């Protein structure tokens, strides 16, 4: 039996949100579990952590895209608004991360022996790929932030339900 979407929620909305959130959170957990123990004062640790994180960025983007699609289809105005803000923050974090990554790459590169041209070349290519992934991911995340924010503003505000005044009652 077909049902209408008006007044109800989309089927599987809860599980779909859960899967999308897992697409965002599990890569973060995986990155830090691979770089444990935390040592943010070490340029090598920061370089490695951000480099490993570059491999998981596509999963995070899919998760955010899923969250946005669900919120837009379900007309979840507040979810879109929160998602837009979080995507904006993530854009800034990704840009700061790539700047820090490139600065750490310069420091780590100094430790590679000068005579080993193949290692230096592989290092440079790996650093460039990771930086490229971060820059592209920041651009897409910023784009999603704008779309989520604009879409949330385009949706009508939820009307508050007013209690009807019964006959004989007077307003205070």
Before 37, cis peptide (omega within 30)? yes
Which residue from 77, 91, 95 is spatially nearest to 144, judged by alpha carbons?
Answer: 91
At 115 the pLDDT is: 75
Q: With the C-alpha atoms ordered 23, 52, 98, 117, is the resulting torsion angle positive or negative?
A: negative
Q: With the C-alpha atoms ordered 138, 139, 140, 142, is the resulting torsion angle positive or negative?
A: positive
How far is it between the farthest Cα atoms of the chain?
94
Calculate helix-pair angle for 77-109, 57-73, nearest 10 degrees. Answer: 170
> Rounded distance, CA 109 to CA 127, Å?
10
Cβ distance 137 to 61 under 8 Å? yes
Per-residue pLDDT of the chain (172 residues; tens, 9 = 90+): 344 444 456 789 999 999 999 999 999 999 999 999 999 999 999 999 999 999 999 999 999 999 999 999 999 999 999 999 999 999 999 999 999 999 999 999 988 887 767 888 899 999 999 999 999 999 999 999 999 999 999 888 866 556 555 666 555 5
pTM of the model: 0.81
Cβ distance 69 to 10 under 8 Å? no
Domains of the chain by residue range: 15-154
Which residue from 106, 86, 98, 102 is spatially nearest to 148, judged by alpha carbons?
Answer: 86
């Amino acid at each position: 039996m077909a049902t209408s979407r008006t007044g109800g929620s989309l089927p599987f909305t809860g599980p779909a949100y859960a899967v999308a959130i897992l697409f965002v959170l599990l890569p973060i957990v995986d990155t830090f579990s691979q770089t444990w123990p935390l040592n943010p004062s070490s340029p090598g640790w920061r370089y490695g952590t951000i480099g490993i994180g570059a491999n998981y960025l596509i999963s995070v983007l899919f998760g955010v895209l899923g969250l946005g699609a669900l919120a837009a289809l379900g007309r979840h105005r507040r979810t879109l608004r929160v998602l837009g803000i979080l995507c904006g923050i993530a854009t800034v974090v990704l840009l700061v991360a790539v700047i820090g990554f490139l600065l750490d790459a310069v420091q780590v590169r100094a430790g590679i022996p000068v005579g080993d041209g193949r290692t230096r070349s592989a290092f440079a290519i790996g650093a460039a790929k990771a930086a490229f992934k971060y820059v592209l991911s920041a651009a897409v995340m910023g784009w999603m932030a704008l779309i989520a924010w604009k879409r949330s503003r385009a949706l009508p505000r939820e009307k508050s339900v007013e209690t009807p005044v019964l006959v004989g009652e007077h307003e205070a």
